[in-house]
């Protein structure tokens, strides 16, 4: 299956370049639970970051913990490390607890609109993920 270039790839139902089926409605992604490998809930997807220039989903923002936004923490996760569990309608984050804990940010942290290359490299290195632009 060739999913590396969406403009030249054949249309197939599954793609190894990210979670789940080839096409996924945004309503499924919005507020979807994110679990770790041990089926423990890490949080919910609150937003996705699109790379408009190349037309790809770059990252998911996962809110974790807190109550009504208080003491909430965020994870910025490369889209490719999430796996969509279709029967349970949730995502599974393929990362260990140490990686996840080290990636947590305060809820008030902002993802830069135009991050530098070092920021992108850090996000992908943390999860040992292939950069989405390659």
> What pLDDT band is residue 31 in, cutting at 50, 70 and 90?
confident
Predicted pLDDT at 28 = 75
- The residue with greater pLDDT, 20 or 95, is 95
* Beta-strand pair 33-35/73-78: unpaired
- Predicted TM-score (pTM) of the model is 0.73
- The residue with greater pLDDT, 65 or 76, is 76
Domain tally for the chain?
1
> Any idea what the CATH number is for the domain that residue 89 is in?
2.30.30.240
Predicted pLDDT at 92 = 93
**Per-residue pLDDT tens over the stretch 57-68:** 899 988 887 555
Number of C-beta neighbours around residue 91 at 10 A: 26
| Structural domain span for residue 109 | 26-126
Q: Has residue 109 been placed in a domain?
A: yes
Q: Has residue 96 been placed in a domain?
A: yes
């Amino acid at each position: 299956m060739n999913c590396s270039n969406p403009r030249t790839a054949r249309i197939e139902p599954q793609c190894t370049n990210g979670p789940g089926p080839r096409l996924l409605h945004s309503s499924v992604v919005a507020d979807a639970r994110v679990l770790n490998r041990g089926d423990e809930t890490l949080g919910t997807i609150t937003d996705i970051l699109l790379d408009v220039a190349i037309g790809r989903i770059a990252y998911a923002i996962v809110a974790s913990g807190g109550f009504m936004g208080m003491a909430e923490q965020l994870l910025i996760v490369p889209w490719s490390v999430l796996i969509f569990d279709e029967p349970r309608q949730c995502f599974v984050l393929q990362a260990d607890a140490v990686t996840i804990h080290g990636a947590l940010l305060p809820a008030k942290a902002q993802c830069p609109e135009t991050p530098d290359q070092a920021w992108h490299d850090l996000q992908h290195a943390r999860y040992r993920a292939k950069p989405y632009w390659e």
